[in-house]
Amino acid sequence: MAEQLDDHVVRALSTGALPRAAHRDAQADAALLWPLFEAQVQSRHLDFAQRWLHGQGQGYYTISSAGHESNAAVAMALRPSDPALLHYRSGGFYSARAAQVPGSAPIQDVLTGSAASVEDQISGGRHKVFGSRDLAVIPQTSTIGSHLPRAFGLAFALGQQLAPEAAIPSDAVVVCSFGDASANHSTTVGALNAAGYCGHRGLPMPIIFVCEDNGLGISTRSPDGWIRRALSTRPGIEYREADGDDPVRLLQVTRDVADTVRAERRPAIVHLRTVRFLGHAGSDAELSYRSSREVLADYAKDPLLATATALTAAGAATADDLLERYENVRADVMACARGLANGVPRLTSAREVAAPLATRSPERARQAALTHGPARVKVFDGTLPEDSAPLTLAQAINAALRDVLAAWPQALVFGQDVGRKGGVYGVTRRLQKHFGHGRVFDTLLDEQTILGTALGAALAGCLPIPEIQYLAYLHNAEDQLRGEAASLKFFSNGQYENGLVVRIAGLPYQKGFGGHFHNDNSVAVLRDIPGLALAVPSGPASAPALLRECVALAATEGRVCVYLEPIALYHERDLYDVGDGGLLAPYSPPSSWDGGQQELGRARLMQEGPDVLLVTFGNGVRMSLRAARRLAGHSVRCSVLDLQWLAPLPLADLVAAAHRHPRVVVVDETRSSGGVSEGVLAALVDDGYAGRMARVTSSDTYIPLGPAADHVLLSEDQVVRCVRAIM
């Protein structure tokens, strides 16, 4: 198919048998048409070269931009400093943008990426993506529509001027492209809804969504008229449309839209009708679902030839001029491809592959004493928390958030109900009063948008601390963490990062409320995301330092962190007996924080006993301490180890503690399948631990409403029985 398409273009240019010029009455600007043609030709030959490299055994994952090269006009309407989050058929855009920045090497960029070479300037050989720090092209994976919430978040941050010191110009416009099939995805719909919501409210939202509509989602056709209807009726977003084979009007439309969005800071959609050549990707057998006649009919809509027609119609070039340029670009591209055909340096070890995820900052800024004296006293309404009575978990987290917001000016707290209400459980109470609506604010009721806002704001230089109201609600949007947040450093070889701390209220044992959706005990989806750090406080003594550690990791290492707060412990005061206040703790102020026992990769030994080590976290710490007290009456002396970090597990501390004991029992409030205990026991086995091991967990089921939950959740009695059995 590549040869057939190439032959068609060469024949058309050689004979002058170009398509009929559209909009002959439009005034063509040859100064724009020539760079448009150059970008389109370069992109086309890069598609051919990638297929050639694949045939030589030196290219991987060929997905072409052929037929979509009209998106080069979008790049030409924008500045090279405008952030771009691109569809995977954006070769024309990338070539056009590179032409705006002297010294760029788009041919080398694209081909080394396709060859999985470590010399690929964006991913370092990890994936074929369009991306470049110098070109403000943020690399995106091909998960359908997953990049749109981030694009919204970046535009939101720029519009609200949340990070005025960021490297992105204050009048920048965000551009985000996607395919017509992606327009039906819930992630895309959610992002468009969020942008329209801001537009409806009059909130600045400088973003251009470009839907590149080729009428196909792999093999499934988009119904005629559906995309136009779906996109043109969105409230709060201006809609414009253009045809890829009408370059003169396309250049006008994209320029008008870019100028309007930049000046008025309101969102817009460009519906760009395109065609798709060379199938979907790789070995896609297009003729199994499209007829030859249909495929050949699209040749008449070739954007490259349409631009050639416009150039000849304007008297700016002859067919010979265009053919000569076409062949010269072919020679340049193939010279680069042949240089790669004999092999390229590639990643050679698992350590090299994972290097961007393992980046540590040995001199992390602790921000420990940046706020003190009168400023800090004012934040706490005149009484510092360390000078007040011991706090509950909820109170300790609230105080820690106040200190974080005071110490990190770029920090933002947001989510559903966190602002005026102060959160469902009062954890963010009065934060908005002290720090204002610009730094503590409510969002749409949509977890994808909440996380997307965080991802985009982080790119703009903010330090986002979004809240997901309940753990069960995260599962609607978990790909924003897996496919977008945690992968950004990996696919950009550390050049881009989006450090953030996601606060999530979760885990079970919440009485009098809610069943599964308010007592979710599943953390498996968080534990297997590469590079993500998952912290779980077990009480007010450790909570502030754990939160500060997460914030420091996000701020200085660009780490994606999740801070999972046990709802059932928020307002608990007693540990063993009513009125003992054993769960309360004095507040540890920032000046006393040095990482220490709450540092990433550290566990906390709560008490020591020689007979059994109870390994646990979250609600399990309280449960284990209570069980240990009961077991002491039977002459069984237990140690209790609070893991604190569920990802990565604190292996060194875990193994060291285990080897001091003849028995280990893992007390795991999550499920027996996909829970935490599996990872703990596997780590001990891998290390060669020779003692006896057992675990107690909750059942493999959803959590029911009311007293029935007691039948499936881990209990203190189960812990006692398990320890006595292992003895």
- Residue 44's H or E segment, with its range, is helix 30-55
CA angle 170, 176, 178 (to 5 degrees): 175
Cα–Cα distances in Å, from 311 out to 18, 242, 275, 328, 393?
11, 19, 21, 18, 69
- Angstrom distance (rounded) from CA 724 to CA 706: 29
Residue 255's DSSP bridge partners are: none
CA angle 234, 236, 241 (to 5 degrees): 55
With tokens 């084979």, the residue in question is: 245
Radius of gyration of the chain (CA): 29
Contact criterion met (CB below 8 Å) for 207 and 175 = yes
Contact criterion met (CB below 8 Å) for 187 and 448 = yes
Cα dihedral across residues 574, 578, 580, 581: positive or negative? positive
45, 68, 271, 518: the catalytic one is: 518
- Angstrom distance (rounded) from CA 497 to CA 489: 5
What one-letter code names the amino acid at 578? V
- Residue 651's H or E segment, with its range, is helix 651-658
Cα–Cα distances in Å, from 59 out to 4, 128, 284, 347, 435?
21, 10, 16, 15, 52
Tokens of residue 537, six digits: 């406080």
Count CB neighbours of 529 within 10 A: 19
Contact criterion met (CB below 8 Å) for 80 and 35 = no
Contact criterion met (CB below 8 Å) for 236 and 200 = yes
Phi, psi of 411 (to 5 degrees): -75, 140
Q: What is the DSSP string of 106-133?
A: HHHHHHHHHTT-TT-TTTSSS-----BT
Cα dihedral across residues 263, 303, 45, 314: positive or negative? negative
Phi, psi of 223 (to 5 degrees): -60, 140
- Angstrom distance (rounded) from CA 727 to CA 724: 5
Phi, psi of 358 (to 5 degrees): -100, 5
Q: Is 516 a catalytic residue?
A: no
- Angstrom distance (rounded) from CA 415 to CA 449: 9
User: Is the bond preceding residue 648 a cis peptide, omega within 30 degrees?
Assistant: yes
Tokens of residue 500, six digits: 């953030």
**SS3 (DSSP) at 588:** coil
What one-letter code names the amino acid at 416? Q
Tokens of residue 108, six digits: 């080398």
What number of residues does the chain have?
727
- H helices within 115-208, ranges in order? 148-159, 186-201
Name the residues annotated as catalytic: 518
